[in-house]
Amino acid sequence: MGKWNQTWATDFILLGLSSDWGTQVSLFVLFLVMYLVTMLGNFLIVLLIRLDSRLHTPMYFFLTNLSLVDVSYSTSIVPQLLVHFLAEQKKIPYLSCEAQLFFSLALGGIEFVLLAVMAYDRYVAVCDPLRYLAIMHGGLCTKLAIISWVSGPINSILQTAITFQLPMCTNKFIDHISCELLAIVRLACVDTSSNEVTIMVSSIVLLMTPFCLVILSYVQIITTILKIQSSEGRKKAFQTCASHLTVVALCYGMAIFTYIQPHSSPSVLQEKLISLFYAILTPMLNPMIYSLRNKEVKDAWQKLLGKFSGLTPKLAT
């Protein structure tokens, strides 16, 4: 019974970003606005792809999946964070903490694999354009999407189960904004070397493997682009990859910095900022990156806005 009580705490307390009330209110307003912009931006991207037949291609099919992942990831963390900004006691029940860890790890894993799938899509588009639609047919795209959505949860179940088997003893203060993997492991009152090895192996399988596939794809893409003789052709080929490459740099860079070397992990403050980056900033920026740096999306926006502006005079009469 003693071991059971030690391991299964009734709730945890998240220390968050600040204990100053004024600062918490300011952060509440800031993050609420950013969360709403994230929801609106990703919803509009999905709606635009749905409405414009020119965007019914493999690239935008995967972009729709990416937007859904971003919205889900942000929702798994930000609403709880906003509530805690205004709460006197920042408690989170044990089961809620476990669920939050599961969903954040699962959705993060899905995004890493999905970005590798999108890199392959860009590789085919640039390196074998004449057979692009034949290779990236609907059946293959669906299978690649399913692989992405399945691989993340499988890893997350393993990580969550191992982490919450650790005896927490009397520790219940999580020095973080959410139930993050490394923050929970630090609560354990036993040696966590095996957990750190598991985190490392998981990072190699679900983070570094997709990252290496992305690198391999872009080596081939860059090699092909450099062989194009016309500068206009090279520019057009690069534009098809620019948005995805920007998102890849943002997502993989921070994750590798955080998880690939648990023994030399960043400070607690850096971990909190990185979590905010993934929960708020990246999901908010992704729709903007694909809108501002993608000619097809900009043209689709102009077409959609043109339809609405054309309807306005009719509605007024």
The pLDDT profile of the chain, 317 residues, written as one tens digit per residue, is 344 444 455 788 888 888 888 889 999 999 999 999 999 999 988 988 888 888 889 989 999 999 999 999 999 999 999 999 988 888 899 899 999 999 999 999 999 999 999 999 999 988 898 999 999 999 999 999 999 999 999 989 988 988 888 887 767 888 889 988 888 888 888 877 877 788 778 777 888 889 899 999 999 998 988 888 887 777 777 777 877 888 888 888 777 776 665 555 567 777 788 888 888 988 998 888 877 667 777 777 777 677 666 554 454 44
pLDDT of residue 316: 44
Query: May I ask the CATH architecture of the domain 2-312?
Result: Up-down Bundle (1.20)
Instruction: Enter the pTM of the model.
Output: 0.85
How many whole angstroms separate alpha carbon 66 and alpha carbon 217? Answer: 19
Beta-carbon contacts of residue 141 (< 8 Å; ≥ 6 apart): 58, 61, 62
SS3 11: strand
pLDDT for the residue numbered 1? 39
Q: What is the pLDDT of residue 4?
A: 40
HSE at residue 192, side-chain half, CA atoms within 13 A, is 23
pLDDT of residue 264: 52
Q: Look at residue 7 in the predicted model and tell me its pLDDT.
A: 45
pLDDT at 2: 42
Do the beta carbons of residue 114 and residue 67 sit within 8 Å? no
- pLDDT value of position 22: 87
